[in-house]
Amino acid sequence: MQEFRRGTVRANNLTFEYLTAGDGPLALCMHGFPDSPYTYRYLLPALADAGFRAVAPFNRGYAPTELPIDRHHVHSSTMVADQIALHEALGGDERAVVLSHDWAALGTWGAAAKEPERWSRCAIVNIPPFAIFAENIVTYDQIKKSFYFWYFQMTNVVEQIVAADDFAFIDHIWADWSPGYDASEDLPLMKDCIRDPEHFRAALAYYWGQFDPKRFGTPEWAAEQADAWGADIPQPTLYLHGTDDGCHGMTQEQVDRVPSHCGPGSRSELIPGVGHFMHVQRPADVNKRIVEFVAG
């Protein structure tokens, strides 16, 4: 695996560690669960070659980034605030672009709407705008895919069961979400971020913060989510989704509607034959789409 420069930055009252490549305008690359910034190992050099300073932080909760004080509740508003603060702390300007996947998409939908002057373009993979996400989350097919949202609420047992046998649960998640992909290079790097029990709790806190059964689906929960990441964004945005995504399903019609929630010049594509982790599953194709768009 290619070696990357490392750095640390203080943002939103937390010290983040990050991987970086290149010089130029900021290209902030944010990961989700169960993931690490190393899944951007193909995209970082491509962005650097295109004239960007590509930065992929270890997200809140993921070692070696500092543990947050609240390790049990990471709300969508916190993800939004992290991305805004990272732009500021990393010296981003109006030319900056943001690229996000999975949980990080929530942060980007919110950050791009709340402080649009920070980002010239966005590229978002696999999690649609809140309006479309909300359509899916109540369907039977998506409930089956999202079983772990609810399983993770079983706080008395989930840590031990998910961590058992070197986090074999995570191996199965990757296999279900990107069928046929050999994740043997990715999984050890991801697991190193959560081996410490406190870091693992902080990673689970995204689910404890959003999907508390006592609050999920209430008017208060819906209003909170809509306020954090429910607004349309003004930037030109590229949205990519895989037909084989075992995490969040999207129809062609839904993918086609994503640009209506984004700025002029936005595009969306449902890519055949790739799953949730498309940026490592088919990096050359995905890199080309992303780099051409954000450099455009």
- Structure confidence at residue 108 (pLDDT): 98
What's residue 39's pLDDT?
A: 98
The 10 Å Cβ neighbour count of residue 262 is 24
The pLDDT value given to residue 46: 98
Q: What is the pLDDT of residue 142?
A: 96
What is the per-residue pLDDT for 48? 98
Res 72: pLDDT? 84
- Backbone dihedral angles phi then psi of residue 139, each to the nearest 5 degrees: -85, 155
The confidence score (pLDDT) of residue 145 equals 96
How far apart are alpha carbons 246 and 149 in whole angstroms? 14
* Pairing between β-strand 237-242 and β-strand 121-125 as defined by DSSP bridges: parallel
pLDDT at 70 (0 to 100): 83
- pLDDT tens digits for 103-142? 999 999 999 999 999 999 999 999 999 999 999 999 999 9
The span from the CA of 167 to the CA of 159, in Å, is 10
Per-residue pLDDT at 148: 96
Enumerate residue ranges in the chain where pLDDT < 50: none
Q: What's the pLDDT score for residue 296?
A: 85
Q: 21 by DSSP, 3-state: which?
A: strand
Q: How far apart are alpha carbons 109 and 114 in whole angstroms?
A: 9
> Beta 26-30 vs 14-21: how paired, if at all?
unpaired
C-alpha distances in angstroms, 226 versus 49, 75, 126?
A: 37, 12, 19
Q: Are 62 and 196 in contact (CB under 8 A)?
A: no
d(CA 30, CA 37): 7
Per-residue pLDDT of 170-204, as tens digits, reads 999 999 999 999 999 999 999 999 999 999 999 99
